[in-house]
Amino acid sequence: MASKLNAYQKIFSITESDKRHKQLCILGLKLRIKKTTSNNIDNNKILFITSNGAFTCNPKYIYQELIKRMPNYKIVWAVNANNLAYIKDFPDGIDFVVYDTSEYYKELATSKLIIMNERRLKEVKNKIYKREGQIYIQTFHGSLGIKKTGIDRNDLSKRSIKISQKDSEQVDYLTSNGKYTTDFFKRTFFNNGKIIETGHPRNDIFFRDNKLLREQIYKKYNIPTNKKIVLYAPTFREDEDTNCFNLDYEKLLEALSKKYNSEWVLLLRLHPRMLTIKDEFKKLQKNIIDTTLYSDMQELLAISDIVITDYSSCIYDFMLTYRPAFIYASDVQKYDNNRGFYYPLTSTPFPVAENNDIMIKNIEQFDYEKYKKDVSAFLNEKGCIDDGKASERVVELIKQIMGNI
C-alpha cells in the first residue's frame, strides 16, 4: 500500500484543503478528494465504483437520475490512478477517492450504500467485506452476452470461483434486464442477492433523443456532418493476441459506401483491458478515429449508425436501436475453446464473418427488414425488458434503502 501511495504522490499535488476535503491538482486537473475521519457508517453517503474508475456504465446513469430527483446525498466516486484521463469527464459536485488507497477503504467501510458494476475480487482476497448496516447493489456490465462469464468460464480456476462466491455473499441486490440475465445471475452469482428486473440503467440512453449528443461527438472528433459512423469495438483476449484484430478498414468503408450510397468514418473503440496494447492499433488512416479513451461506451453506441464487434456484449445493447450490427470473429474456434459461448454466434440476429471476404459479402447482402424481425424475436426470446426507465426503478430502490432526504 505504501509504495502505491508514494507513486500517487508523484502525480498528485495538494493545492488547497478544508475540514472535509483536500483539493489536488492531477495533471493540471483540480480534483476534490473527500476526507474520511470517522469509522461510523454515514447513512447519507453512497459510494460508486466502476471497473475502470470512469464516469460510465450503469452507475453513471443511476447517479444522473439520483441527483435529478434527490440531490442531497453525499456522493463519493472511486477513481483509478491508472486511468486519470477519465477524470475530466465527471460532473461537478462529486467527491473522489483513489481506488486501492487507505482513503478508499475508509470510504468503503463508511458508506451506507455501495453501487458497483463488476465484482471487487481484490477486496475479497484481502478479506475486506461489507459491514452490518451497509447495502451492496451490483449492476454488472453486460447484456444478454454470448461469452461465458464467472463460474461458467472454461478457463476459470477453482480459487477464482471460490473468491467470486465470497463476493456474491456480500451482494444485496443485482439489477437484471430480463429473464435471460436473471437466470445467468442465479447461476454465476450463486443466487445470494435479490435479483430485481429493472432493466439496465445504461441502456436508457437508447430510448432518448440523442441529437445533441451526436452533434457533440461529431464536434469533438472533427467528423464532417455528412458522414455516417461505423463503430468497431472488439473485446479483449486473455493472451493479448492481436492477430485476430485484422479487420480491413479500407475495404469495409468502401463496402459501406457502396451499400448505403453515403460516406463513412470508422470509430475504433478498444476494451479498457487492451490499453497496454493500444499502440499496436496506431496504423490508423484517413476516416479512422481512435475513441478508446472516450469514457462512456453507451454514448458512442447511441450515436453510431452501425456497430461491429466480435464477442463484446455491447452489440446486445446496441440492438435495442434496431440499427444494423455485424460480427467479425476471425478466432471464433479458439475463443470458444478457451473461454466458451452460451449459444452459437450464428443464432444471433447479426451476420457473422470469420474473414474479411465474408465480412464484405455480409454487408453487400444485408437484409434490413429481416434483421429487424430477427432482433425483435431475439429480444423476445431472451425476455429483455429494457424500456428506458431502468434508472428510475433503481432510484426508487435507493429511496427505500436510504430514505428520501
Give residue limits of the domains in the chain: 2-204+388-402, 209-382
Alpha-carbon torsion, ordered 218, 219, 224, 226, to 10 deg: 50
Distance CA 380, CA 299 (A): 24
Residue with cell 431475439: 378
Read off the pTM: 0.86
Q: Residue 255 to residues 67, 144, 268, 285, 365: CA-CA distances in angstroms?
A: 45, 29, 17, 17, 11
DSSP 202-223: GGGGGGS--HHHHHHHHHHTT-
Amino acid at 244: C
Q: What is the pLDDT of residue 176?
A: 94
Cell numbers linked to 43: 447513512
pLDDT at residue 1, rounded to an integer: 34
Q: Which residues pair with 267 in a beta bridge?
A: 231, 289
Strands 135-138 and 12-17: unpaired
pLDDT attached to residue 335: 84
> Do the domains spanning 2-204+388-402 and 209-382 agree at the CATH topology level?
yes
Fold (topology level) of 209-382: Rossmann fold (3.40.50)
* Class of residue 8 by CB neighbours under 10 A (exposed 0-12, middle 13-18, buried 19+): middle
Per-residue pLDDT at 238? 75
C-alpha cell at 198: 429493472
* Regions of the chain with pLDDT less than 50: 1-17, 405
Q: Where are the strands (E) in 237-310, listed by range? A: 264-268, 288-290, 306-309
Question: 356-364 and 249-260 are packed helices; what angle lies between their axes, rounded to 10 degrees?
Answer: 10
Give the architecture-level CATH label for domain 2-204+388-402: 3-Layer(aba) Sandwich (3.40)
Specify the pLDDT at position 14.
37
HSE value, Cβ hemisphere, 13 Å, CA-based, for 282:
6
